[in-house]
Structure 1
Amino acid sequence: MAKPKYEFFPVERIGYTVCPGDDPKIKERILAGDKESGVATRILRYEPGADSTPMGVQQHDFWEEVYILEGSFTDLELNQTFTAGMYACRPPGMRHGPWRSEEGVTTFEVRYRTGEDG
């Protein structure tokens, strides 16, 4: 299965939902997704003070590209803060997080698979 086909629409039509891990300060707006493969395009939002430490370090079996739209967050394992305008491209298996955001952060993310990674 693949992501659905959409023409332009206001993203505000799609509400935010709490991300896996159930922290009410960490929410996502899934713009397009495929539940079968786990790939998605989303907007991720950490409210001020959000901390994903209980979810631990993340590793995915898919590619993930992330662009920080506003705010900042800190990768607690790297002890490095990333800010608006920064971009990451993570291949399958790349470690990242957990994250903490003092001011809040909003990112745009695209997750996908290639023929090489399933």
Structure 2
Amino acid sequence: MKQELEFFAGDAMPWREAAQPGTEEKMLSQDPDDPVVLTRLVRWLPGLDTSDAGVITHDYVEEVYLLEGDLVDLTLGQTFGPGHFASRRPGMRHGPYRTPAGCTMLEIRYRA
């Protein structure tokens, strides 16, 4: 289970390199016993293209809210921007993506 946290200045946290090349993150909360369970801000740097990874699936629920920039879904042939939201069940196919100018999103992951 994630730790209890009262309000804190998330904007004051530094961006750090994330596991996926071309991304940075601010980890807002995470389950120490199951690191995939998290809430974070993630920033995709300009020019990031996930085509090489192909279509994505995972074994957790993922919710994503785009805050800034644009994200191009290469499978759907659509571009999404600020205010767009996705909710993905385990096993749901999505992506690959490209972001010519970069984007920032709020990402929440949890187990079903």
Q: TM tier, shorter chain? A: 0.7 to 0.9
Amino acid at match of 1:73: L
Superposed displacement of residue 35, structure 1: 4.8
Instruction: Specify the alignment match of 1:20 in structure 2.
Output: 19
Moved beyond 4 Å, runs of 4+: none
| Structure 2: gaps (5+ residues) | none
Q: By how many angstroms is 1:14 displaced?
A: 3.0
CA deviation after TM superposition for structure 1 residue 5, in Å:
1.0
In the TM superposition, residue 113 of structure 1 has moved relative to its aligned partner by: 1.3
Q: Which residue is equivalent to 1:5?
A: 4
Residue identity matched to 2:57 = Q
2:76 matches 1:61: no
Equivalent residue number for residue 33 of structure 2:
36
2:98 corresponds to which letter in structure 1?
A: R
Equivalent position of 1:104 in the other structure: 102
Letter in 2 for 1:8: F
CA distance, structure 1, for counterparts of residue 9 and residue 70 of structure 2: 25
Alignment-mate amino acid for residue 82 of structure 1: F
Instruction: Note if 1:82 corresponds to 2:80.
Output: yes
Q: How many residues align?
A: 111
Calculate percent identity across the aligned residue pairs. 43
Worse-matched range after superposition: 50-59 or 78-87 = 50-59
CA RMSD of aligned residues (A): 1.6
CA distance in 2, matches of 1:33, 1:100: 27
TM-score (norm 1): 0.84
Secondary structure of the corresponding residue to residue 95 of structure 1:
coil
The TM-score with structure 2 as length reference comes to 0.88
